[in-house]
Amino acid sequence: MSDHDFQVAEIEEKRRRHDVMAHVHAFGQAAPEAAAIIHWGATSCYVTDNADLIFLRDGLDILRPKLAGAIQKLSGFAQTHKNLACLGYTHGQPAQLTTMGKRACLWIQDLLMDLRNLERARSDLRFRGVKGTVGTQASFLQIFKGDHEKVERLDEIVTKKAGFDSAFTITSQTYSRKIDVDVGHALGSLGATCQRIGGDIRHLAMFKELEEPFEKDQIGSSAMAYKRNPMRSERLCSLGRQLVNLAHNAEDTFAAQWLERSLDDSAVRRSSLPETFLLADALMSLLNNICSGLEVYPAVIKRRINEELPFMATENLIMAMVDKGGSRQHAHEHIRVLSHEAAEQVKIHGHDNDLIERVMKDPFFQPIHNIIPELLDSKTFIGRAPQQVEKFTGAGGEVQKALQDYQDHLASAPMTELRV
């Protein structure tokens, strides 16, 4: 075969309005002695569906190591920052403290689920094989003069040559479009994860706690020269959203199939399947690039903790007062009054949070005045976050086990570079 043969196929397709038959005629011209038996017993989907299954398999094989690379990079980030206390948020409001490394583990946990989804989708793939026009293998049974064993043997040979361990026993003219649904779900779920991670990074960039890579001569805004817009993470969210939405296409196509097959799946799949994988691949490039250069600003994080920590510490203060023999209810009421006074200073007057100063001046809290600095130590608010990070990402942990099959790729993977 040469490029010329594809030019011939292009001419034939314009003439015959049938892609497979255009190639059958082109191949017949390239191999005249075989022209009479090319496509014997087969249908178009013998060519196109089997090829699509090869594309799905190889596409998943390309994506999985890239996803493993992003997980490895985030794991290193989590290890580095497993002890760095930062504000945790629920309902978009400051809650208790967590650590920057623990937050990254939330992302990794989701990505590990995506990796398992892709691995499962890959392992579930089987070949369509040699099945004929409606899946009954009638044409091949005729070729082999009613010899069922030869038909099955041909199915096995073709399946092995295509690199598959097994073929579906039951198909119609096509492989079930449910396969596209399953693969689409796995990729769409990955898109949702990327969108979620990108959103978190963008929020943290708003707080100036964390930023994506920003190069020396990079321009954030054409008008506002000072800006560092998180364009990578914004793109991660944008393409992730498109991948999620595109995955629904496979469901609609599957549901619309009639009986043994209808052709309304053909045109849409020719665009949607490649686009789904191209989107996923672009997301992996973005995610690997972002995770290679996340910048953390501990001073900003500490300042933001100090703004909220006095309120977070109120339960510690109440517990300590009870430990010293005081009344829990009396301590709670004193803290409630002082907290509202401090909140008024912050919200109405724009002052710093002075709750601790108020506690230190209140004689009621005199029994714990000498231990208040200890009660305010941020390390006492992060629970087992560092230990969880270590267990999750360290030696023998879930991450290491999940990445075992990708070590060769991880050892040689190049740095992901973005050109735009």
Catalytic residues: 91, 221
Judge whether 391 and 382 are in contact, CB under 8 Å.
Answer: no
Q: Tokens at residue 178, please?
A: 């449910």
Three-class secondary structure assignment of the chain: CCHHHHHHHHHHHHHHCCHHHHHHHHHHHHCHHHCCCCCCCCCHHHHHHHHHHHHHHHHHHHHHHHHHHHHHHHHHHHHHCCCCEEEEEECCEEEEEEEHHHHHHHHHHHHHHHHHHHHHHHHHCCECCCCCCCCCCHHHHHHCCCCHHHHHHHHHHHHHHCCCCCECCCCCCCCCCHHHHHHHHHHHHHHHHHHHHHHHHHHHHHHCCEECCCCCCCCCCCCCCCCCCCHHHHHHHHHHHHHHHHHHHHHHHHHCCCCCCCHHHHHHHHHHHHHHHHHHHHHHHHHHHHHCCCEECHHHHHHHHHHHHHHHCHHHHHHHHHHCCCCHHHHHHHHHHHHHHHHHHHHCCCCCCCHHHHHHHCHHHHHHHHHHHHHCCHHHHCCCHHHHHHHHHCCCCHHHHHCHHHHHHHHHCCCCCCCC
Q: Tokens at residue 382, please?
A: 């992060």
Q: For residues 240-256, b (16+ Cβ closer than 10 Å) or e, as one string? A: bbbbbebbebbbebbee
Return d(Cα 123, Cα 179) in angstroms, integer: 12
Q: Provide the CA 233 distance to its chain's centre, in angstroms.
A: 13
Task: Kindly report the backbone phi and psi dihedral angles of residue 397, in degrees, each rounded to the nearest multiple of 5, phi listed first.
Answer: -80, 180
Q: Side chain identity at 171, as an amino acid letter?
A: T
